[in-house]
C-alpha cells in the first residue's frame, strides 16, 4: 500500500499480548531486548504509539544508555508542526537499535534557537540537526514575469541564508541534514508551469536543485523528501485539512515512512547500514526450479513478463554490487545445477564472479548463513537475507533476529521496489573505496585460501608484499574515515563514534595526532583499513607527557597480518617526536569487541593496577616510549606527514 512499510512483515495475531508481557519486565535492558523484535513489523498508529510508550518508559533512569543499543540525539528544526512525528521517528530508530532522543523546538523559531547560545537547542546538544522546511516557509519571490537571471539571484540569496545556518550548526560539530522542499503540484498556468520561471513549481524545482548542490558542497546531508512524496504520490502525501488545522506538512499516514527514511540517514551517520545481501536462487533470481525445470525452462530473459522481471531484478543487484554491496548466494540446490544458469544461460545478467560467496547445498540455511558470515568476517548484523520462501524467511528471523529479512513480494516485478524501498544499504557518503568493496572481499577470500595451503605464515606474509601508507586525517578521505569509525565493532578498542563533522574538527586540532592507515598488497588495494586518534591525556599532573589513544580500530579484513604491530611502530615514533613520554591505551569492552581484549597486552603495554581501573570491565594500559623497540613486521610503511586538505 502507498506510504506503508511493505517490506516489514504483518504483526502476528498475538502482537498486543507479546507487548503487554514484555512491557511488564522491569529490568530496562531485558525489557528493551524483549520489545525490540516487536518493532520490526508493519504497525498501525495505535500500535506504534503503545510500543513507543512501552520502550520509552524507564529510559530516563538509565540515561538512555543500554548495552547493545546505540544512542543518538537529533534535533528537528521545522517550519511546521513535527511534535506528532516524535513517536514514529523514535520507533523507527529503535527498529535500527538506536535509542534516539528527539528535540523539536517551537515551530518556526529555528533561527533564534541556533543563534542564541543559551537556547534549549544548545542545552540539548544534538549530534544531528535536521532542517525541515516546507514550501510555505520559502515562498516564491518575484512575480510571474520574473526572468531566469533574477530568479537565480533570489534562489542564491535563499540558499545563502540557509548556508549561514548550516555553518553555525556544523561549527558546533553537529551533523546537518537538510530536507528539500516538497514541490507543490497545483498549477497556475497548467503544463506551462514547468517552463515559466515565475511559477511556484519552477521556483521550488530550482530551489531544490540549488539546495542539493549547496548541500553537497557544504557536507550537509540531503533528505530528499520531495522524492519520497513523489513516490507515495503527492495527493496522498498531503492532507490539506490537517495542514490548515494543525500545520502538519504531510499526512500522518505517511509518518511511518517519513520516520523510516529520516532514521535511515541517522543510521547512516552512525554507520549502521547493511553490507551484504544474501540471495536465494530458484524463484528469486529466476522463475522456476533449476533442478526440476532444467536450463531451458527456467524463466529469465526477454520474451515473457516474468522473465523480464527477473532480468530487471538482476540488473538492480548489479547496481548494488557496483556501489559496494557484497552479494552472496545461499540456495538449497545441487551445486552444479545452481551454477548452470550463470555459466550457460545467455540471458542471465549476473555472473558467478558477481558473488563473493556462493553456497548451494542441502544443508539448512541457518548454518549456511553463519558460514557465509564467517567466511566474509562480517557480523550477522551486516546481512540482508532475500528469499522468496516464507518458511526460510521465518527460520532466519527466528535464528538471527539481527539479520534483516524483507517480506519478499509474490510478484518478481516488485522485487526491485521491495529492496529499494527497504533502504537497507542507505549510506551518507559514497567513495571510491565503496566501488572496490566486492573485489576486496573476493581478494580476501583468495588470500585466506592461499594462506591455508602455505605452510609457513611468515613466508605467506612476505609473499603478500604489503605496503602500508599512514597519513593524518584529510579532507579527501574524511567520509571513509568517519564511515570506519562508525562501522567498526570488533577490532575497536573504545568504540567511540564520531560524525564526519567531528572528524573534521579533530583534523584541524593541532593538539591531536590523527592516523589513517591504508594497506595495499599483492592482491590489490585494501583501502583505508585502520584509524588511530591520539590526544594529550589530561587526567593527571604531568599529563602533557602522556599520549592517550582515544581510538584504535581496524577492519577485520586485515587481521593476522601484523598490521597492528606496524601501526604501533608508526604511532610510537610519531608520539615520541611530538614529545610524549608514554602512551596510554584503554580497552572498553562491548558485546562485540572481545577480540581485542588482550590487544595492548600483546603489544607489550603494561596494565595499570586494577584498583585504578574504573568499573564496566574497562582496562587501562601504559607503554613507556623510551625503551620501545619497533616490532619486526613484513610490512613496508610510508608516512605522509602533510594532510591532503580539501
Partner 1 sequence: MPRTIERDEVYRQLTPIFHALFGNPSLQLSDAMTAKDVARWDSLNHINLIITVEKKFGIRFTTAEVTRLQNVGQFVDAVIQKVGSS
| Residue ranges binding partner 1 (CB under 8 A) | 16, 44-47, 49-50, 53, 83-84, 239-242, 244-246, 248, 251-253
Q: Is the dihedral of CA 298, 303, 305, 311 positive or negative?
A: positive
Match 538471527 to its residue by C-alpha cell: 400
Q: Is there a contact between 625 and 606 (Cβ–Cβ < 8 Å)?
A: no
Q: Is there a contact between 543 and 527 (Cβ–Cβ < 8 Å)?
A: no
- Closest CB 197 distance from partner 1, rounded Å: 33
- Closest CB 127 distance from partner 1, rounded Å: 25
Helix axes 45-56, 15-23, angle to 10 degrees: 20
Q: Distances in Å between the alpha carbon of 454 and those of 89, 113, 521?
A: 52, 63, 17
In the complex with partner 1, the residue whose CB is nearer, 19 or 229, is: 19
Q: Is there a contact between 68 and 33 (Cβ–Cβ < 8 Å)?
A: yes
Q: Is the dihedral of CA 468, 473, 478, 482 positive or negative?
A: positive
What letter does residue 282 receive in the DSSP assignment? B
In the complex with partner 1, the residue whose CB is nearer, 49 or 505, is: 49
At 486 the three-state DSSP class reads: helix
- Closest CB 81 distance from partner 1, rounded Å: 9
In the complex with partner 1, the residue whose CB is nearer, 136 or 319, is: 136
Rounded CA gap, 643 and 166, in Å?
Answer: 25
Rounded CA gap, 520 and 518, in Å?
Answer: 7
- Closest CB 53 distance from partner 1, rounded Å: 6
- Closest CB 35 distance from partner 1, rounded Å: 15
In the complex with partner 1, the residue whose CB is nearer, 51 or 484, is: 51
- Closest CB 139 distance from partner 1, rounded Å: 21
- Closest CB 77 distance from partner 1, rounded Å: 19
Helix axes 15-23, 28-35, angle to 10 degrees: 170
- Please spell the DSSP secondary structure of 260-274, one letter per residue: HHHHHHHHHHTT---
- Closest CB 179 distance from partner 1, rounded Å: 21
In the complex with partner 1, the residue whose CB is nearer, 251 or 582, is: 251
DSSP-H helix ranges across 526-597: 563-577
In the complex with partner 1, the residue whose CB is nearer, 170 or 248, is: 248
In the complex with partner 1, the residue whose CB is nearer, 51 or 356, is: 51
In the complex with partner 1, the residue whose CB is nearer, 58 or 604, is: 58
- Closest CB 500 distance from partner 1, rounded Å: 34
In the complex with partner 1, the residue whose CB is nearer, 161 or 235, is: 235
User: Longest C-alpha distance within the chain, in Å?
Assistant: 80
Q: Is there a contact between 530 and 475 (Cβ–Cβ < 8 Å)?
A: no
The neighbour count for residue 1, using CB atoms within 10 Å, is: 8
Q: Distances in Å between the alpha carbon of 325 and those of 263, 276, 328, 396, 445?
A: 20, 6, 10, 20, 16
Across 133-264, the runs of DSSP E, i.e. the strands, are 175-179, 221-223
Amino acid at each position: 500500500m502507498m506510504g506503508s512499510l511493505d517490506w516489514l512483515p504483518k504483526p502476528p495475531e498475538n502482537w498486543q499480548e507479546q507487548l503487554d508481557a514484555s512491557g511488564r519486565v522491569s529490568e530496562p535492558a531485558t525489557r528493551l531486548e524483549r520489545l525490540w523484535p516487536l518493532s520490526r513489523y508493519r504497525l498501525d498508529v495505535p500500535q506504534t504509539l503503545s510500543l513507543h510508550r512501552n520502550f520509552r518508559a524507564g529510559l530516563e533512569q538509565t540515561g538512555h544508555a543500554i548495552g547493545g543499543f546505540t544512542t543518538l540525539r537529533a534535533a528537528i528544526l521545522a517550519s511546521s508542526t513535527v511534535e506528532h512525528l516524535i513517536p514514529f521517528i523514535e520507533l523507527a530508530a529503535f527498529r535500527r537499535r538506536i535509542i534516539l532522543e528527539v528535540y523539536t523546538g517551537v515551530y518556526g523559531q529555528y533561527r533564534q534557537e541556533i543563534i542564541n547560545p543559551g537556547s534549549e537547542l544548545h542545552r540539548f546538544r544534538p549530534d544531528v540537526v535536521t532542517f525541515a522546511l516546507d514550501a510555505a516557509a520559502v515562498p516564491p519571490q518575484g512575480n510571474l514575469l520574473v526572468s531566469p537571471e533574477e530568479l537565480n539571484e533570489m534562489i542564491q540569496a535563499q540558499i545563502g541564508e540557509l548556508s549561514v545556518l548550516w555553518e553555525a550548526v556544523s561549527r558546533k560539530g553537529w551533523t546537518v541534514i537538510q530536507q528539500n522542499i516538497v514541490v507543490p503540484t497545483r498549477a497556475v498556468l497548467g503544463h506551462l508551469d514547468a517552463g515559466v520561471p515565475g511559477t511556484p513549481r519552477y521556483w521550488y524545482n530550482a530551489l531544490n536543485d540549488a539546495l542539493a548542490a549547496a548541500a553537497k558542497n557544504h557536507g550537509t546531508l540531503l533528505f530528499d523528501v520531495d522524492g519520497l512524496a513523489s513516490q507515495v504520490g503527492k495527493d496522498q502525501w498531503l492532507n490539506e485539512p490537517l495542514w490548515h488545522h494543525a500545520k502538519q506538512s504531510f499526512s500522518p499516514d505517511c509518518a511511518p515512512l517519513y520516520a523510516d527514511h529520516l532514521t535511515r540517514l541517522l543510521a547512516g551517520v552512525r554507520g549502521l547500514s547493511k553490507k551484504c545481501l544474501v540471495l536465494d536462487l530458484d524463484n528469486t533470481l529466476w522463475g522456476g526450479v533449476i533442478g526440476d525445470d532444467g536450463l531451458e525452462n527456467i524463466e529469465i530473459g526477454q520474451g515473457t513478463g516474468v522473465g523480464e522481471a527477473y532480468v530487471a531484478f538482476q540488473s538492480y543487484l548489479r547496481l548494488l554490487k557496483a556501489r559496494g554491496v557484497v552479494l552472496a548466494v545461499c540456495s538449497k540446490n545441487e551445486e552444479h545445477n545452481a551454477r548452470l544458469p550463470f555459466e550457460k544461460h545467455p540471458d542471465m545478467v549476473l555472473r558467478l564472479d558477481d558473488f563473493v560467496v556462493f553456497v548451494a547445498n542441502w544443508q539448512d540455511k541457518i548454518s549456511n548463513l553463519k558460514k557465509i558470515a564467517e567466511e566474509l568476517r562480517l557480523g550477522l548484523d551486516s546481512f540482508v537475507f532475500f528469499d522468496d520462501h516464507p518458511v526460510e524467511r521465518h527460520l532466519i528471523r527466528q535464528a538471527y533476529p539481527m539479520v534483516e529479512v524483507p517480506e519478499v513480494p509474490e510478484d518478481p516485478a516488485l522485487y526491485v521496489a521491495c529492496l529499494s524501498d527497504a533502504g537497507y544499504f542507505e549510506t551518507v557518503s559514497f567513495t571510491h573505496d565503496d566501488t572496490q568493496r566486492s573485489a576486496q572481499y573476493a581478494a580476501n577470500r583468495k588470500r585466506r585460501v592461499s594462506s591455508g595451503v602455505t605452510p609457513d605464515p611468515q613466508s605467506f606474509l612476505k609473499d603478500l608484499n604489503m605496503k602500508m601508507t599512514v597519513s593524518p586525517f584529510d579532507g579527501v578521505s574524511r567520509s571513509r574515515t568517519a564511515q570506519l569509525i562508525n562501522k567498526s565493532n570488533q577490532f575497536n578498542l573504545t568504540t567511540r563514534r564520531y560524525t564526519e563533522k567531528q572528524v573534521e574538527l579533530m583534523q584541524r586540532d593541532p593538539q591531536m595526532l590523527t592516523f589513517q592507515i591504508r594497506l595495499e598488497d599483492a592482491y590489490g588495494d585494501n583501502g583505508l583499513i585502520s584509524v588511530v586518534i591520539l590526544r594529550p591525556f589530561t587526567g593527571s599532573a604531568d599529563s602533557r607527557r602522556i599520549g592517550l589513544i582515544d581510538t584504535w580500530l581496524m577492519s577485520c579484513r586485515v587481521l593476522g597480518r601484523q598490521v597492528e604491530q606496524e601501526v604501533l611502530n608508526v604511532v610510537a615514533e610519531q608520539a615520541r617526536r611530538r614529545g610524549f613520554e608514554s602512551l596510554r591505551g584503554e580497552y572498553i569492552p562491548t558485546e562485540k569487541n572481545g577480540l581485542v581484549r588482550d590487544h595492548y597486552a600483546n603489544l607489550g603495554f603494561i596494565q595499570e593496577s586494577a584498583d585504578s581501573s574504573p568499573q564496566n570491565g574497562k582496562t587501562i594500559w601504559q607503554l613507556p616510549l623510551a625503551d620501545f623497540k619497533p616490532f619486526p613486521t613484513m610490512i613496508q610503511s610510508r608516512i605522509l606527514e602533510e594532510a591532503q586538505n580539501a
